[in-house]
Structure 1
């Protein structure tokens, strides 16, 4: 074989070897370089079911000790129509637990009652994170240490449940009955985090399972109470070892576990889908069938686990709506957006310390326009997603253009099908306050309407199409 032929043959072999690799990489490049543009299609007859309300849950962190954090923002919170509001620091920030001169435990609910009443006045029920360790109980005075006497911890949990789920309890002068039913009690907050004690599943000296055991014992001893829920572990993320070991421990010791909870902070909105899938996979074995049916709760979620000024921009608002869109149909009972209000220093709040609205708050208010039946949305793109609903003669559409790189702008075609013939008004409102009303839209007998909307980068838009 001549040298020329050998070179040609070698070249052909290299092409055969590397051409598939090149094509694969090029295809992946195109998928990244050429995102899909949205072309939204809303057929009002393609309904899915009632509009879910699992997003109507808010969390408030411990930004100020001894202060009614929610007192000055009750109207703003009520405007979001929350189902539940989660609070932590219930034992240390509100001076609930102390000892008298003889060393006996005394429980004073006055300050905690005030914040709980603020929650009720906003139209929500409280969701309690049971913590942190009262100094009067702590073995070394620390808020994140073990108690000197585990039975005293169980007693505090018991009395907490009897207070806020009691059949004979009357709060705020009028709250009783229904409002004290289905209250959630979550055992601790982020126990895997060093800041909150770094409890372990393996360390017998500071074992979360022991903390859960005595919390469950206290719940078991609660008398004359309405239906309530006890659960956890409220870890910083969804961890298989925490979920499975807690369930195994609960099964072995015949304890109650009424819900499973965890936290989720990420700029990747699509991971909400994978989390639900992971949890379902972990609980697929027959011995976990009971726990597949109990409520799943994301008891904190947001753009970033650290205070991040980006969360206070339109990027944060778009992230919020895109995230909710992704868990809208997931097997999650409640997902608590963190947090309601800043402390004196700006942090995670959707409201400032004095109650001013931030973009995330304004975006959340848009979601209240979704009512009646959810409508399936077709034609979403890489960045532009949407949620839709129909109720009587009104179609509502929430559109979000979430791009973490803050660059994508689109002209989005929208087609409505199967509308009732007649005259319509279409009102388009942008989260930055702009409004574009269009009146006297005539829908012919075919029931089709075609429009286009400019979606600037990281914008949230609410569209209302109303038959006159």
Structure 2
């Protein structure tokens, strides 16, 4: 029995909901995307949204033309306004990532992804900085300086990888960062700019980035890094399989920037993990499973110890880096499939959104909080085996003694919501129905129904202001328990034994 203290040990960190990732930004013009974002914000409520392609040709911002014998540039904000209006209207702000290079401004033709984001430096630095200044000036004109100052500005994405930055040239990235950061501050010196947005395994970039910024007097307001735990991809048609490190490795990665940068100019800056997940592939079936929710539960619960934010990559399977998805469930990054079918990891986040503001206790398999109105909430998860040698335990037990109020005796109302291999798991239902690539309307209705968490309700006795809660979790289960003292308002004559007209015994 774990005795949960009555007094909180501090506020529950909300770093988990600070930001979430998305596919390239022009996907936000689609109805399916906006419907998915609306559902996400209703159930979870992220504060920021980060995606690639802000300056890529799909957004159509940077345009060139010939006039009177000269090459000229024109900046068009038609799609940018539609995308940001839609996001802001749903209560989420942009975490701006400046990239990739517009084709007409690029120094080469090398691209990444099915949608061909250009990864080369600008052919003309002035034209690039003019573009950066034009975008930020437009945003301030449209949304106001006080609002835009709350939007972080990140320079590029994973420049340590040759797939994302030509030759992974560190010096060239430093130069891009320098001219870009100064351009940002020229628009408004209270805008927040940062980087270097490195991938896992590239922490050796951090100290040179700090030394370069100090030597050159370059502004840096935050440090960004990405975190994944998967091994090399083993390809199958339209998918991959990968080994996974234990989830605790993600927490180690979250902590890396502060550890590596200790003693440098950047040591005390906010740290934003602007992408994280298990696999870095958008076609790994593990993303669709209950295993994935249980695997990430301790990361979501504890990640705020190590970073100011950690952004799940991504909220929706409306995502096309490796091409258009070939089936409803295809291993996409999203918390939601196309057509807004909720995955088990979606429910992990939705459960976190129902946790209280005060943290009472936490452990390897649980997190306990209290709301301002006295409700006590428990998030619990079953352990997983990342080696694949076992399926994980069929049952996992947890016993908690919870403080539920000042009344020494009485009863408490207990509400439990569960997701596991069978419950709250549309992926399992989809597999049972034959893995239809394009589900019909009736099949979609079944999948939405299958995605509902299993819910149960009962009462427990309160003794000395505490409730003993015994939980048995199924394999790969994530469960949310909400405990509220009962103030019974049933009339004194109510007796269920008389429902069929009999006399009270």
Please tell me the TM-score bracket, short chain as reference: 0.7 to 0.9
1:280–1:139 Cα change, 3 Å: closer
- Partner secondary structure for residue 104 of structure 1: strand
* Pairwise CA distance, 1:361: 1.0
Partner of 1:430: 418
Kept in 1: contact 2:404–2:483 (CA 8 A): no
Query: Secondary structure in 2 aligned to 1:179?
Result: helix
1:59 and 1:300 in contact (8 A); partners too: yes
Match of 2:374 among 359, 371, 393: 393
Give me the whole-angstrom Cα distance separating, in 2, the residues matched to 1:418 and 1:387: 12
Aligned to 2:341: 356
**Bigger radius of gyration among the two:** 1
Deviation at 1:273, TM superposition (A): 3.5
CA RMSD between the two structures: 2.2
Q: Rate the CA distance shift 1:456–1:247 in 2: closer, same or farther, 3 A.
A: same
Contact 2:206–2:261 at 8 Å: present in 1 too? no
2:5 alignment partner in structure 1: 43
Q: 1:260, 1:294 within 8 Å by CA — same for their partners in 2?
A: yes
Cα distance 1:389–1:355, how it changes in 2: closer, same or farther (>3 A)? same
Q: Does residue 60 in structure 1 map to residue 22 in structure 2?
A: yes
Alpha-carbon displacement from aligned partner over 1:437-462 (angstroms, at most 9, x marks no partner): 113x3323x22221211111111100
Residue 443 of structure 1 is aligned with which of 451, 462, 474? 462
244-253 or 265-274: which moved more?
265-274
Q: Displacement of 1:276 after TM fit?
A: 4.7
Q: Distance in 2 between matches of 1:460 and 1:86?
A: 27
- Please tell me whether residue 463 in structure 1 is matched to residue 481 in structure 2: yes
What do the CA deviations read for 1:245-286 (whole angstroms, capped 9, x no partner)? 11111111111111100110114221244235443332222x
1: CA distance between counterparts of 2:60 and 2:109? 14
Residues 388-442 of structure 1 deviation map (CA, whole Å, 9 limit, x = unaligned): 3343220011111130343122122121147422432011110222122113x33
Structure 1 range deviating more: 253-262 or 398-407: 398-407
Match of 2:142 among 157, 169, 172: 169
Separation in 2, partners of 1:317, 1:276: 19
TM-score (norm 1): 0.81
The whole-number CA distance in structure 2 between the counterparts of 1:256 and 1:320 is: 34
Structure 2 residue matching 1:413: 3-state secondary structure: strand
Higher RCO (CA 8 Å, separation ≥ 6 residues): 1
Indicate the residue corresponding to 1:308 in structure 2.
284
1:219 and 2:184 are equivalent in the alignment: yes
Shift of 1:67: 4.3
Question: In the TM superposition, what are the counterparts of 1:36-435 in structure 2 within 5 Å?
Answer: 39-45=1-7, 47-56=8-17, 57-62=19-24, 67-68=29-30, 70-79=33-42, 80-92=44-56, 93-102=58-67, 103-142=71-110, 143-164=118-139, 166=140, 168-170=141-143, 176=144, 178-202=146-170, 207-222=172-187, 225=188, 227-237=190-200, 239-266=202-229, 267=244, 268-285=246-263, 288=264, 290-306=265-281, 307-330=283-306, 332-343=307-318, 344-345=324-325, 346=330, 347-377=332-362, 380-381=363-364, 384-403=365-384, 404=386, 405=388, 406-408=391-393, 409-417=395-403, 419-421=405-407, 422-431=410-419, 432=424, 433-435=453-455
DSSP 3-state at the match of 2:163:
helix
Contact 1:375 1:387 in 2 (8 A): yes
Q: Structure 1: how far apart are the matches of 2:256 and 2:122?
A: 34
Q: Assess if the C-alpha contact under 8 Å between 2:2 and 2:400 holds in 1.
A: yes
Q: How big is the shift at 1:322? A: 2.0
Shift of residue 159, structure 1, vs aligned partner: 1.9
Residue of structure 1 in register with 2:438 after alignment: none
**SS at 1:59 equivalent:** strand
- Cα distance in 2, alignment partners of residues 58 and 455 from structure 1: 28
1:301, distance to aligned residue in structure 2 (A): 0.5
Residues of 2 paired with 1:414 and 1:376: CA distance?
10
Distance 1:410 1:292 in 2: 41
**CA deviations over 1:81-104 (Å, ceiling 9, x no partner):** 111110211111211101122321
- Rounded to whole Å, the distance in 2 between the matches of 1:145 and 1:52 is 38
**1:177 positional shift:** 5.8
C-alpha separation in 2, matches of 1:220 and 1:63: 24
- 1:372 CA displacement: 2.2
1:301-348 Cα distance to aligned partner (Å, 9 max, x none): 012001211111101111232211231322x11111011111341421
TM-score by length of 2: 0.76
SS of residue matched to 2:120 = coil
Question: Residue 354 of structure 1 aligns to a residue in which SS?
Answer: helix
- State the Cα distance separating 1:63 from its structure 2 match: 8.7
Within 2, Cα distance between the matches of 1:235 and 1:387?
34
